[in-house]
Amino acid sequence: KDIKYLTFVLVIRNKTKILATVGPACSDHKVLQNMVDSGVNAFRINMSHGSFREKKALFDQIKKLKNSDGNHPSILTDLAGPKIRIKDVKDEMVLKTGQTMFIANEQEVDDKKIIISSGFSFGRISKGGKIIINDGRVHLEVMEKMDEHLLKIKVLIGGKIKKNKGVNFPGVALDMPSFTEQDVA
């Protein structure tokens, strides 16, 4: 009876996995090996940040690791996917509630424009559409679509924006590829 219970517990335990997200703070070989020795059997790597070279070095390090049974940990990746981000902003830009300006994805930089990622058009965006920047801290509304790459907007909730902050168009299915060149690489 005790052996059946022990076998059952071991089978259940073998199905349980410990997943650890790896970042710069724990990418050292000794730290990774310590994690494996402590029971980690799979590593998650966020592919949104860092260079190809850094990710390759991390993959190579993880592939060298073994647990006490001689098994190698698994590697799971989160692909970045398409993301729209603020581009050419010098330092930061302060948007004031009620302010009118432009948002563009294929234009030259000036003080009246917010430049965002290119590679898609504003074809499906219409007057009254909302734009959210910086994880919901800044809210904009589309006043007019000037063309496929330029929108006139009004700031509903002002705040600071910086280069690389995320830009979202809630409720709009933008014409963007599901996988980026970086994902495929």
- Count CB-CB contacts under 10 A for residue 43: 24
| Separation of alpha carbons 17 and 11, rounded Å | 12
CA 9 – CA 70 distance, rounded (Å) = 21
The reported pTM is 0.61
CATH of 92-170, one of 2.130.10.10, 2.40.33.10, 3.20.10.10, 1.10.3720.10: 2.40.33.10
Q: Which one of 98-102, 105-109, 174-178 scores highest in mean pLDDT?
A: 98-102
Q: Which of the pair, 4 or 31, is modelled with greater confidence?
A: 31
Task: Write down the pLDDT at residue 69.
Answer: 87
pLDDT for the residue numbered 140: 97
Q: Tell me the average pLDDT across 48-75.
A: 89
**Does the pLDDT of residue 154 top 90, yes or no?**
yes
Structural contact between residues 8 and 31, judged by C-beta atoms closer than 8 angstroms: no
Euclidean distance between CA atoms 44 and 161, whole angstroms: 30
Per-residue confidence at 6, pLDDT binned at 50, 70, 90? Answer: low
- How far is it, in rounded angstroms, from Cα 127 to Cα 150? 12
Report the distance separating Cα 117 and Cα 106, nearest Å: 8
Structure confidence at residue 164 as a pLDDT band (50, 70, 90)? confident
Domain ranges in the chain with CATH number 2.40.33.10? 92-170
User: Is the pLDDT higher at 13 or at 163?
Assistant: 163
pLDDT confidence bin for 180, thresholds 50/70/90: low
d(CA 99, CA 111): 12
- pLDDT by residue (tens digit) across 126-143? 999 999 999 899 999 999
Pairing assessment for the beta strands 130-133 and 138-147 based on DSSP bridges: antiparallel
Residue 135 region by backbone torsions, left for phi larger than 0, else alpha for psi between -120 and 50, else beta? left
